[in-house]
A = this chain, B = another copy of it.
Amino acid sequence: MTEQRTTNNEQRARIGVLGRGTVGGAFIDQLEDRAFQVERISGRRPEVAGVLRRSEGDFDEILANSDVVVELIGGTDPARDYVLRALGAGKHVITANKQLVAQHGDELFEAARAGGVQLRFEAAVAGVVPVIRVIQESLAATRIEKVLGIVNGTTNFILSEMAATGASYEQTLARAQELGYAEADPTEDVGGADAAAKMAILARLAFDTPVSLGDVTFEGITEIQPDDLAYAAELGLSLKLLGVAERRDGGISVRVFPCFLNADHPLAPVEGPFNAVMVEAPSITEITMSGPGAGGEQTATAVLGDLVSILSGEAPVDQPRERLEVIRDVSAAFYLHLEVADEPGVLARITEILGRNAISVQSVVQRGLGDDARLVMVLHEVAERAFYAALEEIGDLEFLRAAPRAIRVVEEVFA
């Protein structure tokens, strides 16, 4: 006698997979490996209904045969079209595509609402680190004040390596590319656009308001010099590409910038390709979550977690309910690095400009002699507009030997 197992259509969940790269392959493998567990939890046995590859498979056919569509193509074209069509056809969608959600979130959420289906995207931010679920579910009714994130593994790897080895940005990028931590064209990562997209998504969920990529101010790490990291190490600081989303003046501000953190900051120990997100609210103090920000298996695990939630009939990730203004005129503390000729009156000229712009100096270190003198200053928090006005004036000074370098500092960590 052979035991007969039958699964009718009601109990099956047909999964259409768009894209079969590293993540897609890992997801299909995990789905097969864990199908029994998924069925035990959700009551529905998942089956791959079809896989769309660049050279193979037909989207319409896969769509027609799927209950859930998993978008792992990346980019916005044709991913946006596929996801909108899937939602419009009443299929749940899981995506790992941060640019898609950050650039077209409003449209996608509206399509999900209209189709009465779920749109989930845990893997789009911080890989397997479950920040979306925690913000969206654990903290759904909590008034979040601020979200800080190290959400790009490539830049965190490069900055960690530069600090450890003293090598230049260019050398370290090449090493990251060799090791597979940076892409052949690293622009989106090192320029900050990738982190900006992720912070747009986190801000949307944390503040329950529409945020898109265009609302995020961002800078990358391409201008960072090894000696900035050397000065920082002496001061017990580490440099991170930090995302900040916070309530400010009745609106919100979302920014990405390289930034010094004090050694005892919860995000300071996050090294290499890891990601971490810290959520702050008066009623929680802070929660910090960290883990691998990328990797095929890890990202696939995040997708699998979303799938279990959809099949279990969990509450969907909703459209935003607030409409908060994006505030761009913010303030920050700055580290300022100047290469100057060692002439009398240099410091006086610089401090005069700072003083006239109401910027007060927290600490000054002068190093070297003659043409190679370095002036490293830490300035108290000030409106960024005032700082950049002063910086422009300083940049024009005749005794400057190189363009001034400015890096933000989180809080008054040099106290």
Q: Give, as a whole number of angstroms, the nearest-CB distance from A396 to chain B.
A: 44
* Total copies of this chain within the assembly: 2
Instruction: Decide yes or no whether A202 CB sits under 8 A from chain B.
Output: no
Given A284-B298, A301-B284, A304-B142: A137 in contact with B309 (beta carbons within 8 A): yes
A183 — which chain B residues lie within 8 A by C-beta?
none
**Residue interface bits A292-325, CB-to-B below 8 A is 1, else 0:** 1001011011101101110011110010010000
* A287–B285 touching, CB < 8 Å: no
* B137–A314 touching, CB < 8 Å: yes
Q: Give, as a whole number of angstroms, the nearest-CB distance from A210 to chain B.
A: 16
CA distance A125 to B318 in the complex (A): 28
Instruction: Decide yes or no whether A138 CB sits under 8 A from chain B.
Output: yes
Given A134-B134, A140-B41: A283 in contact with B305 (beta carbons within 8 A): no
Instruction: Decide yes or no whether A115 CB sits under 8 A from chain B.
Output: no
* B309–A315 touching, CB < 8 Å: yes
* B139–A305 touching, CB < 8 Å: yes
Other-chain contact of A305, B140, B300, B304, B305 (Cβ < 8 Å): B140
Q: Give, as a whole number of angstroms, the nearest-CB distance from A208 to chain B.
A: 8
State the majority secondary structure of interface residues on A.
mixed
User: What is the interface residue range for chain A against chain B?
Assistant: 35 or more
A214 — which chain B residues lie within 8 A by C-beta?
none
The stretch from A30-38, A85-93, A233-241 touching chain B is: A30-38
Given A133-B137, A141-B34, A301-B139: A128 in contact with B321 (beta carbons within 8 A): no
Other-chain contact of A314, B290, B292, B314 (Cβ < 8 Å): B314
* B284–A287 touching, CB < 8 Å: no
* B287–A287 touching, CB < 8 Å: no
A191 — which chain B residues lie within 8 A by C-beta?
none
A137 — which chain B residues lie within 8 A by C-beta?
133, 137, 305, 308-309, 314
* B41–A318 touching, CB < 8 Å: yes
Please give me the residue from chain B that is nearest to A266 by CB atom.
Answer: B290
CA distance A41 to B143 in the complex (A): 13
CA distance A55 to B325 in the complex (A): 49
Other-chain contact of A128, B284, B307, B318 (Cβ < 8 Å): B284
Residue ranges of A at the interface with B (Cβ–Cβ < 8 Å):
26, 30, 34, 37-38, 40-42, 122, 128-130, 133-134, 137-143, 266, 269, 281-292, 295, 297-298, 300-302, 304-305, 307-309, 312-315, 318, 321
Give me the 3 closest cross-chain CB pairs, A-B, nearest first: A312-B315, A130-B138, A287-B291
